[in-house]
Amino acid sequence: MPPMIFAENLEDIMYDANENQRKVYWSILDAIFYFILRRRIYYAKLGPSPQPIRFPAMNVFLASTALRNEVRQAANNNQQFTSVAYSWSVTLAKSNALDQGIASLGQTRPCINTLQALVDLKSDPALKQQGASIPLDNEVDYLAAKEWCYRREVEKAHAKLGQDNGTDDIPLTQRDQKRLANNLSLAAMNEVDMVDLEYHGKGQKRKLNYIVQRKRELSALDVALFGWEALLALRDGHLGLSKGSSATTSLDIEAYSTHKERSDTLTKLFHVSKASVMNTYSLPYLARFACNPKAELQTKISNKSTNGNRREVIEIGTAEREKLATTQKDKPKELLAEEAWEAHQNVPGVDPTSDDQPGTDADGDADAGQGKKRSRDDNDSSDDDDYDFEHQSRAPKKARLHQEPITQQADISQPQEFEQPTISQQAEFAQQAQSDHQEMEPATGTLVPSETSVEKNATQEQDINQNPSEELLVWFRDNVLLGGQPFPPQGGGPAASESRREDMDP
């Protein structure tokens, strides 16, 4: 006599059944699942909001026209299993937990044995062909396969966390949970240490950061729900039970010695980054695409066109640069020198006909070292070409420095007209003459140190920097500018100047 079947041990019955019996049981469970799914869709489209689902008795399920004959026959032959399976499914559906329940029970489905081979097959060429078929046959297969992937990720997380991940301080009382949820909510709303910019732009373009604006528009209920959702996610993450958005999503996980250490770090994140807070309110990409496929399709097509044009411009620019580099590489150095000289001639503010530096060679040739461009003779094979090339290659650099051409020196054999020095210039001349005289030996004219101490040198420097006295300016006018003695007398003053002039008169 088969054992009595109850909802509590339905999973044990599925694991204990043989392969053939398990296929029969799953045909009944699949039929019940899709019967409930049709009821959910029917009530979801009634009125502006979803209506509570009313589930009929099991005989209505057995009389459904959508039920295949072989499944109806299997249900009649296994009435006890069918009754328990129907009651179990309806109870979970009323709690909106049927998907999770059927996914857990689905670890006994035949497709589970093929999933590891599908994981190892990274890219199936057969799926790239038109008319190919994926290995999951229905929604129950998908839910079971997703649960299988999730359990594999949990095993990896537990192996990584190990014994170092402490769980003794996880909040398990109402008071401790409320305190942590409240701290997470307040951290999300606090803007004291916010790293996000409050405003973007300057002047009339100054605008409130969209992230900050969205956060400030959250209702009190949104903030309260955020704290509790963060608390539950924190607990699942600490236990290595976090689920990704799809069956193949792998999550990195950090190990903490205590739950408090992890919660403090998460609170700090929400405290400083409001972008992280608002990212938790963002729709998953799959949900966003499913809700607005037309708008997302237009966006992707527009992005492709824009990126394609930008990529084309970049490729053209790259090709031109490579072509220019190749052309320059193949040119002889003489041609490059000619182009450099032409570039030097076209620089504004630079006289291309002037020389960089005047000078003469050993023979007195005034043109030597000038770097002038000379006419070339086809039969001229002298080594001067190398010098010409080196000098011309430096011409653009010198032109960029905007060096002004040096004018030629005047002929000092001819009378010259000089401008009269100003009073300040006269004072500078007097100071320099007095300084030079103090450092000269009167008898031999050899340089001797005037002072040996640092203090005296500092005093002398200070005296030189002071403005000259009126007495010194008068002496400078009478003796230097009017052709008198070139240095002030040792005694100083006008008296000494007059005696010195009298000694010089014949």
Which of 219, 216, 260 lies closest to 238 in space, CA to CA?
A: 260
Which of 296, 237, 246 shows the shortest CA–CA distance to 265?
Answer: 237
User: Is pLDDT of 175 > 90?
Assistant: yes
CA distance linking residue 31 with residue 20, whole number of Å: 17
- Based on the number of CB atoms within 10 Å of its own CB, is 67 exposed (0-12), middle (13-18) or buried (19 or more)? middle
pLDDT higher than threshold 80 for residue 89: yes
pLDDT of residue 189: 92
Least confident of 97-106, 304-313, 431-440: 431-440
pLDDT number for residue 286: 85
pLDDT band at 274 (very low <50, low <70, confident <90, very high): very high
pLDDT of 203-220, one tens digit each? Answer: 888 999 999 999 999 999
Q: Check: CB of residue 140 under 8 Å from CB of residue 106.
A: yes
pLDDT-wise least confident of 1-5, 93-97, 275-279, 465-469: 1-5
Report the chain's mean pLDDT, rounded to a whole number: 74
State the sign of the Cα–Cα–Cα–Cα dihedral 269, 271, 273, 278. positive
pLDDT at residue 479 above 80? no
For the residues 48-59, what does the mean pLDDT come to? 82
- pTM comes to 0.57
Q: What is the pLDDT of residue 298?
A: 86
Neighbouring CB atoms inside 10 A of 59's CB total 8
pLDDT at 504: 47
pLDDT in tens, 91-118: 999 988 999 999 999 999 999 999 988 8
Confidence class for position 162, pLDDT limits 50, 70, 90: confident
Region for residue 486 given its phi and psi (left: phi exceeds 0; alpha: psi -120 to 50; beta: otherwise): alpha
Per-residue pLDDT at 385: 44
Which range is least confidently modeled, 218-232, 286-300, 362-376? 362-376
Q: Report whether pLDDT(465) > 70.
A: no
Q: SS3 for 207?
A: strand
pLDDT at 394: 44
Query: Residue 264: is its pLDDT beyond 90?
Result: yes
The yes-or-no verdict on residue 301 having pLDDT over 80 is: yes
| Paired tokens of 53 | 């689902």
Spatial separation of the C-alpha atoms in residues 273 and 348, rounded to whole Å: 53
Q: Is 161 within 8 Å of 240 (Cβ atoms)?
A: yes
More confident residue, 272 or 343: 272
**What pLDDT, on the 0 to 100 scale, is given for residue 160?**
81
Handedness of CA 175, 177, 179, 181 (dihedral sign): negative
Which pLDDT does position 207 carry in this prediction?
A: 92
83-92, 250-259, 402-411: range with lowest mean pLDDT: 402-411
Kindly tell me the sign of the dihedral angle through the C-alpha atoms of 210, 215, 216, 222: positive
Q: Closest Cα to residue 349, out of 419, 398, 310?
A: 398
**Could you tell me which residue, 445 or 99, shows the higher pLDDT?**
99
**What pLDDT sits at residue 54?**
87
Task: Name, of 57-61, 152-156, 498-502, the range with top average pLDDT.
Answer: 57-61
Tokens 């489209």 map to which residue?
A: 45
In whole angstroms, what is the distance from residue 353 CA to residue 15 CA?
A: 100
